[in-house]
């Protein structure tokens, strides 16, 4: 894919690096010549020196052929302007960083398919790491309305030796929660389990739940026999 990124700050360059590593063609736009040089020489991206909210610059950078665009500029107002222009030029997939929650709806109305608050995401991740050190990783969807957590099962966990059907029928298992992934061993592939899947010790599960049920899910899963 040809991906256009507005902003060559820490987030923009890190995003560009990951996308280049995945094999995409990435173009970065930034007013800082040093950042543009770094993007070319160290990241392997195409870099355009200028304003990412300039129609001339966007056209030069090939916005009409972009498969996706990420607006990660220094202010919400600039990101909003870039998202609006991207929508105008027909970019089908638009992602924007957001600093202040007041811009969620304006960015969506302007055409952003995904609006990501990097500050809220970082804070939430750190809070969860402190509150739930046993959780290997956690992802947030729909502005934090749904969470997916990855949890390793110790030998004395309550759910070890039980099938997913048994777990789902247990009255203590929080309503609206679901085990959606299972890895029997770190060297095994992650699989989609079914009702007959029996959870083994030292395995890993992926669980989807609502934030309000997080404590209950972890307490239920980890409850000792």
Residue 191 has pLDDT above 60, yes or no: yes
Are both 112 and 132 inside the same structural domain? no
Distances (CA, A) of 68 to 71, 89, 95, 142, 162: 10, 12, 8, 20, 44
Q: What average pLDDT score do residues 74-101 get?
A: 95
Same domain, 59 and 107: yes
Number of H helices, E strands in the chain: 8, 10
pTM exceeding the 0.85 threshold for the entire prediction: no
Average pLDDT for the chain = 89
CATH value at residue 156: 3.30.70.1450
Full domain range(s) for residue 147: 128-222
Q: Which of 126-135, 142-151, 203-212 is modeled with the greatest confidence?
A: 203-212
Q: Are residues 169 and 186 in the same domain?
A: yes
What is the gyration radius of the CA atoms in the chain, in angstroms? 22
8 Å CB contact between 148 and 138: yes
Query: In which band, very low, low, confident or very high, does the pLDDT at 225 lie, cut at 50, 70 and 90?
Result: very low
Please check the confidence at residue 96 and state whether its pLDDT lies above 70. Answer: yes
Per the model's pLDDT, the better-predicted residue between 184 and 47 turns out to be: 47
Token couple for 77: 């107002």
């Amino acid at each position: 894919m040809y991906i256009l990124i507005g902003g060559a700050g820490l987030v923009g360059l890190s995003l560009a690096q990951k996308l280049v590593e995945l094999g995409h063609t990435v173009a970065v736009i930034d007013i800082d010549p040093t950042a543009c040089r770094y993007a070319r020489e160290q990241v392997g991206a195409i870099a355009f020196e200028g304003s990412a909210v300039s129609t001339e610059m966007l056209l030069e950078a090939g916005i009409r052929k972009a498969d996706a665009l990420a607006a990660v500029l220094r202010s919400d107002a600039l990101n909003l302007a870039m998202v609006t222009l991207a929508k105008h030029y027909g970019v089908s997939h638009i992602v924007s960083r957001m600093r202040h929650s007041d811009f969620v709806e304006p960015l969506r109305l302007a055409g952003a398919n995904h609006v990501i608050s990097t500050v809220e995401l970082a804070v939430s991740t750190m809070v969860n790491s402190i509150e739930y050190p046993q959780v290997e990783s956690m992802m947030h969807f729909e502005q934090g309305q749904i969470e997916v957590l990855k949890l390793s099962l110790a030998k004395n966990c309550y759910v070890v030796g039980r099938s997913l059907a048994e777990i789902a029928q247990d009255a203590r298992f929080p309503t609206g929660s679901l085990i959606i992934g299972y890895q029997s061993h770190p060297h095994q592939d992650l699989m989609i389990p079914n009702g007959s899947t029996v959870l083994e010790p030292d395995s890993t599960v992926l669980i989807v739940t609502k934030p309000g049920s997080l404590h209950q899910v972890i307490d239920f899963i980890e409850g000792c026999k």
